[in-house]
């Protein structure tokens, strides 16, 4: 067994990986409903002013502001109501001096009017209103283009589309939207020690139930990708090479677990020309990347750290997504020592401004992943944090 001659610092490995990957250029035109969670392929300029006309921002009476200038509570101005309209209808009436038109929020301001008196400020008697206070020109009016101007960029390329983004597109008249094709990600699991179904005797002999396939499948789906599973491959050089070649031909990215270290059975890393192999991250040190292939650890907790430190950013780049994980500032509830020279991925449970480190060690420990909802990263030049320190938690 050999060891890594030199560990590539995390940041350097990250940059090498990111620089090697190109954005997918394929575009799909999908209905707005099918676009939820997809990545916008182009800037969207509004084809219209929104609102398309001056409209009332309140329920009340459209008036000529000048008519109301003398109004006082002890000396109201009386105006004649010429028409009543609701949102979605248009009044043919013109507001002449001494008159008003009743309207609801959102209704188009009738010709002649330049302000709206709120309903509460106008006592109604038959077809007359008594206005108690003056309104200024423009008061209670939403002007054409006030929300969005025609030609204005309302959504930028790379936006991960949320319900409100789709609603904006619909309100501007769009029925479909152009999004990037999802990155296809081939997943290959290697390891003679793995079994895929429960078998007590095999487990007692030292076999391990394989779980990286479903871990990576879920993570890829969570981060913009479309996973494709290529099965569990035994530790035979030719089989592994063949599986990687096939997966690479059919996908934008390939994730191989197992065989990234330097044991006799660690073969996967020999099947790919790697840009780096072995980094300062802990857990997950033996990760390698090259030719659109990540060679990852076999231990789920190491795979999980490798995914969050490398693969999710690879997927964001391939997908062309404007992606930044949610980070929160938190008070650390316990000390976290760290080894100098290691970029440590420390799982925490974040809640109500506090981050509690998850203590379980061992890179095979999945229960610690389950008990966490984020991590703190401790760079190579730090020996860790003390209880009570303010730390940045990256949520997952």
Interacting positions 172-231 with a second copy (CB under 8 A)? 172-173, 175, 191-194, 197-198, 200, 203-219, 221-222
Least distance (Å) between residue 200 CB and a second copy: 8
Decide: is 157 part of the binding site for a second copy (CB under 8 A).
Answer: no
Residue 291 beta carbon to a second copy: minimum distance, rounded to whole angstroms: 25
Encoded one letter per residue, x for contact with a second copy by CB under 8 A and - for no contact, window 242-281 reads ---------------------xxx----------------
Q: Interaction with a second copy in 321-380: which residues (CB under 8 A)?
A: 324, 326-329, 351-353, 360-367, 369-370, 372
Using CB under 8 A, which residues numbered 112 to 131 contact a second copy? 119
Please report how close the Cβ of residue 275 comes to a second copy at its closest, in angstroms: 25
State yes or no: residue 107 binds a second copy (CB under 8 A).
yes
By beta-carbon proximity to a second copy, the closer residue of 151 and 275 is 151
Closer residue to a second copy, CB minimum distance, 33 or 273: 33
What does the per-residue mask of binding to a second copy show for 26-65, with x meaning CB under 8 A?
------xx--x----------xx-xxxx-x-x-x------
- By beta-carbon proximity to a second copy, the closer residue of 72 and 162 is 162
Residues 8-27 that bind a second copy (CB under 8 A): none
SS (H, E, C) the chain: CCCCCCCECHHHHHHHHHHHCCCCCCEEEEECHHHCCCEECCCEECCCCECCCCEECCCEEEECHHHHCCCECCECEEEEEEEECCCCCCCCCCCCCCEEEEECCCCECCCCCCEEEEHHHEEEECCEEEECCCCCCCCCEECCCCCECCCCEEECCCCECCHHHHHHHHHCCCCEEEEECCCEEEEEEECCCEECCCCHHHHHCCCEECCHHHHHHHHHHHCCCEEEEEEEECCCHHHHHHHHHHHHHHCCEEEEECCCCCCCCCCHHHHCCCCEECECEECCCCCEEECCEEEECCCHHHHHHHHHHHHHHHHHHHHCCCCCCCEEEEEECCCEECCCCCEEEEEEEEECCEEEECCCCCCCCCHHHHCCCEEEEECCCCCEECCCCEEEEEEC
């Amino acid at each position: 067994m050999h060891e890594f001659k030199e560990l590539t610092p995390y940041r350097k490995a990250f940059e090498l990986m990111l620089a090697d990957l190109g954005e997918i250029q394929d575009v799909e035109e999908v209905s707005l409903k099918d676009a939820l969670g997809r990545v916008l392929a182009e800037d969207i300029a509004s084809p219209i002013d929104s609102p398309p006309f001056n409209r009332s921002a309140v329920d009340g009476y459209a008036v000529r502001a000048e008519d109301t200038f003398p109004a006082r509570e002890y000396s109201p101005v009386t105006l004649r109501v010429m028409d009543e309209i609701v949102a979605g209808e248009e009044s043919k009436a013109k507001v002449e001096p001494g008159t008003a038109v009743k309207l609801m929020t959102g209704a188009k301001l009738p010709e002649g009017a330049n302000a709206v008196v709120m309903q509460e400020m106008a006592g109604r008697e038959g077809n007359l209103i008594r206005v108690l206070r003056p309104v200024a020109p423009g008061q209670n009016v939403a002007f054409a283009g006030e929300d969005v101007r025609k030609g204005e960029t309302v959504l930028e390329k790379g936006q991960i589309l949320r319900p409100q983004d789709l609603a904006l597109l619909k309100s501007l008249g769009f029925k479909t939207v152009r999004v990037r094709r999802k990155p296809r990600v081939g997943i290959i699991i290697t390891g003679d020690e793995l079994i895929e179904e429960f078998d007590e005797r095999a487990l007692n002999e030292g076999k391990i139930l394989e779980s990286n396939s479903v871990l990576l499948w879920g993570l890829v789906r969570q981060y913009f990708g479309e996973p494709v599973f290529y099965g569990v491959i035994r530790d035979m050089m030719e089989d592994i090479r063949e599986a990687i070649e096939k997966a690479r031909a059919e996908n934008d990215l390939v994730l191989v677990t197992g065989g990234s270290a330097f044991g006799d059975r660690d073969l996967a890393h020999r099947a790919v020309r790697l840009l780096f192999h072995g980094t300062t991250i802990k857990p997950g040190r033996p990760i390698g990347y090259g030719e659109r292939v990540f060679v990852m650890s076999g231990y789920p907790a190491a795979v999980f750290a490798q995914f969050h430190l490398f693969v999710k950013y690879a997927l964001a780049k391939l997908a062309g997504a404007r992606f930044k994980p949610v980070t929160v500032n938190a008070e650390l509830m316990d000390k976290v020592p760290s080894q100098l020279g290691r970029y440590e991925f420390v799982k925490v449970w974040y809640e109500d401004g506090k981050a509690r480190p998850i203590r379980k060690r061992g890179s095979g420990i999945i229960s610690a992943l389950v008990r966490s909802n984020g991590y703190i990263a401790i760079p190579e030049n730090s020996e860790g944090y003390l209880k009570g320190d303010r730390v940045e938690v990256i949520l997952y």
